[in-house]
A and B are shown apart, each in its own frame.
Chain A
Amino acid sequence: MAWFRKKSKFTTIGNTNKKKDLPEGIWRLCDSCEEYITNDEIKRNYHICPRCNYYYVLPVEERIKHTLDEGSFEEFDANLASKNPLDFDGYDQKIRSAQQKTGRYEGIVTGRGEIEGYPVIFGVLDFAFMGGSMGSVVGEKVTRAAERALNDELPLFIVSTGGGGARMHEGMLSLMQMAKTSAAIALLKKHGIPFLSLIAHPTMGGVAASFAALGDVILAEPRALIGFAGPRVIEQTIGQQLPPGFQRSEFLLEKGMIDIIVERPNIRNVIKPLLEHMWYNRYALRAQQRQGNKTAVYAVKGA
């Protein structure tokens, strides 16, 4: 009977959020293929539907677990919390319920961790916290993470699931976080510190149009919605339906806006060689400068 059910035109930004904390009960219908699957099956499979390969939002804790070496993560700034600087109606309650839902003060986790033994500064936006939107705290923590990467000379790796873009409830203060985070990334580029950006579904508006788009290498998860203006806004503006696959990772890859689409289970296998490529010569050059001789720099010894 599924053939006549109204398929939503866009994959569900709102729904993924609600269904992320898999409902009680063992069985459920997949949001995409509408087949019965068990919650346990999804969980074991990196929150990807084993039937249709649909990507659910990966909860932050599991993102950290799947990305970093076990036990290597050490969190920064976990106690930074938002105020309601504009006295925006309903914002206090919104923050509080997001805090209760996620058990954290704000919509991003940052820290230091290792990937296959390589230390990195790591950050991941929490889609469950007001849609991964960027207010003052998210902007501040991204900026601090970048400044730490610069200070400690470590690569920066940020996973964006920023469907909410710049958080409206903090108004212009949110918009300014775009400039602030981008300026911090500019410092990394100036000093040759690698910044890897992984974009997961969905990432729009102010997050997509600032640090997430500024990676030296930009990776994306399959079929992630990535763009500036939301599909609904565009449809209203131009008054016609959008082509299928519009603003998805595959579309962005074709248009030259991202580097690689990486399957979720494969992320460490891509990050590791990238870090090696982008980081090894820095140390070789340092060694050469120290020794003051003409040892070869660009060839990896013993490779």
Chain B
Amino acid sequence: MRYLEFEKPLREIESKIEQLEVYAYSRDIDLSGEIQPLKEKLSSLLDEIFTHLTPWQRVQLARHPDRPYCLDYLQYIADDFIELHGDRTFRDDQAIIAGFCRIGNYSVAIIGHQKGKDTDENIRRNFGMPHPEGFRKARRIMETAARFHIPIITFIDSPGAFPGIQAEERGQHEAIAKNLEIMSQLGVPIICIVTGEGGSGGALAIGVGNRVLILENGYYAVCTPEACAAIILRDRTKAASISGSMRIVSSDLKNLGLVDEIIPEPLGGAHRNPEETAQNVKNAIIRHLDDLSILSPDELIADRYKRFRDMGVFYEAQSVGISIANETTGQ
């Protein structure tokens, strides 16, 4: 297991516990008297560290190298997963995976960003940053799913759409826009789950759902805190300090009405117990599918339209002509 800076106090205790356990097992002796107090200390330390996380710590958890990714979740909660490949135009972008599977009693289509577990896989998957063909693959599978009345589940975990020459050449902006347009008109339930990083347009491109859920330590932002700091404060290194005012962690998003539900993670984050996290995700998916499956295709489209139509905060000024000197904004 890899440790973030603020997780480091855990490392010593955990390695000690592990040593004792290995020793006890290999010698077949009972050391529970020694191990138990350590475990209690560990759990109080976990409490201490994880009950008051700063927004920046949550962003770091969302990016934790051991955090479960889409394929991990599928391994725990999906049966008969059949992965499908390619956008039929250019190539198969492995930063996004797509396919059909069964979750509970539901056949569903899966679309998900996929990061790599190691350097090789990360290069193959481009660190979960799709090119246009990734979004186009997603669109193709979603349209196919809608044709066969299959609900769509998307797993969002990407720093963003890839900013590169080829991505721009092939129309990154068009690929994202088209997905937003098409997803708004699919007559099947769509549930989107931000499992880690919800990075801007690259996240939204598979994020137009009837329900948008987020894991407790996920974040979802108009741009990464680094980019925001670079543009607004002209200093990338101030990402930590600006991340709070961006309102990007799960509780902020819930308060703003932008996500429908926060899916709890085990204490210490999803990576400390991927199976339990996956189980929570599965329960949420099934509950929302149960709710949505009573709606007709037209009702589903209308429900989704309304969900996004209502988003935005503004007011109508009294006068049309500008008397800005006296007008107070922000009231």
Interface residues of A (CB under 8 A from B): 78-89, 91-92, 95-96, 99-100, 103-105, 136-137, 139-140, 143, 166-180, 182-187, 189-190, 204-206, 208-214, 226-230, 233-234, 237-238, 242-243, 246-247, 255-257
Contact for B184 among A81, A96, A182, A229, CB less than 8 A:
A182
Bound form: Cα–Cα A172–B165 in Å: 26
Does A92 contact B330, Cβ atoms closer than 8 Å? yes
Bound form: Cα–Cα A137–B317 in Å: 12
Interface string of B288-331 (1 = CB under 8 A from A): 00000000000000001100110111111111101010010111
Cβ of B174 < 8 Å from any Cβ of A? yes
Interface residues of B (CB under 8 A from A): 161-165, 167-174, 176-178, 180-182, 184-185, 200-201, 204, 207-208, 220-223, 227-228, 231-232, 245-248, 253, 256, 258, 304-305, 308-309, 311-320, 322, 324, 327, 329-331
Contact of A81 with B315 at beta-carbon distance under 8 Å, contacts A86-B245, A104-B322, A206-B201 already known: yes
Q: Which residues of B contact A243 (CB under 8 A)?
A: 165
Bound form: Cα–Cα A209–B208 in Å: 14
Contact of A214 with B312 at beta-carbon distance under 8 Å, contacts A175-B200, A183-B184 already known: no
Q: List 22 A-B contacts (CB under 8 A).
A: A80-B317, A83-B314, A100-B324, A136-B311, A136-B313, A168-B222, A168-B231, A168-B246, A170-B222, A171-B248, A172-B221, A175-B201, A175-B204, A178-B176, A178-B180, A179-B311, A182-B181, A183-B185, A210-B176, A213-B177, A226-B173, A234-B164
Does B248 contact A82, Cβ atoms closer than 8 Å? no
Does B330 contact A84, Cβ atoms closer than 8 Å? yes
Contact of A79 with B318 at beta-carbon distance under 8 Å, contacts A92-B329, A171-B222, A233-B163 already known: yes
Q: Give the distance to chain B from A203, nearest Cβ to Cβ, in Å.
A: 9
Does A166 contact B185, Cβ atoms closer than 8 Å? no
Q: Give the distance to chain B from A191, nearest Cβ to Cβ, in Å.
A: 11
Q: Which residues of A contact B256 (CB under 8 A)?
A: 85, 172-173
Nearest opposing residue in chain A for B185, CB measure? A186
Highest count of chain A CB atoms <10 Å: which of B171, B173, B316: B173
- Known: A81-B327, A178-B180, A183-B185; 8 extra A-B contacts, CB below 8 A, are A83-B331, A86-B246, A173-B258, A178-B177, A180-B308, A182-B177, A190-B185, A255-B169
Highest count of chain B CB atoms <10 Å: which of A105, A179, A208, A226: A179
Q: Which residues of B contact A247 (CB under 8 A)?
A: 168
Contact of A171 with B177 at beta-carbon distance under 8 Å, contacts A178-B204, A183-B305, A233-B227 already known: no
Does A210 contact B177, Cβ atoms closer than 8 Å? yes
Q: Give the distance to chain A from B286, nearest Cβ to Cβ, in Å.
A: 25
Bound form: Cα–Cα A190–B298 in Å: 13
Q: Which residues of B contact A186 (CB under 8 A)?
A: 181-182, 184-185
Contact of A179 with B178 at beta-carbon distance under 8 Å, contacts A137-B314, A172-B222, A209-B201 already known: no
Contact for B329 among A78, A82, A168, A173, CB less than 8 A:
A82
Q: Which residues of A contact B248 (CB under 8 A)?
A: 171-172
Does A228 contact B222, Cβ atoms closer than 8 Å? no
Does B172 contact A228, Cβ atoms closer than 8 Å? yes
Bound form: Cα–Cα A170–B314 in Å: 11
Contact of A81 with B316 at beta-carbon distance under 8 Å, contacts A179-B204, A228-B201 already known: yes
Nearest opposing residue in chain B for A147, CB measure? B309
Bound form: Cα–Cα A233–B168 in Å: 12
Does A180 contact B309, Cβ atoms closer than 8 Å? yes
Bound form: Cα–Cα A177–B208 in Å: 11
Q: Which residues of B contact A82 (CB under 8 A)?
A: 313-314, 329
Bound form: Cα–Cα A172–B172 in Å: 20
Does A229 contact B167, Cβ atoms closer than 8 Å? yes
Bound form: Cα–Cα A140–B313 in Å: 9
Bound form: Cα–Cα A190–B187 in Å: 13
Q: Give the distance to chain A from B89, nearest Cβ to Cβ, in Å.
A: 11
Q: Give the distance to chain A from B11, nearest Cβ to Cβ, in Å.
A: 32
Q: Which residues of A contact B168 (CB under 8 A)?
A: 227-229, 234, 246-247
Closest 10 A/B residue pairs (Cβ): A229-B163, A136-B312, A182-B180, A183-B184, A213-B177, A85-B313, A228-B172, A84-B330, A228-B173, A209-B173
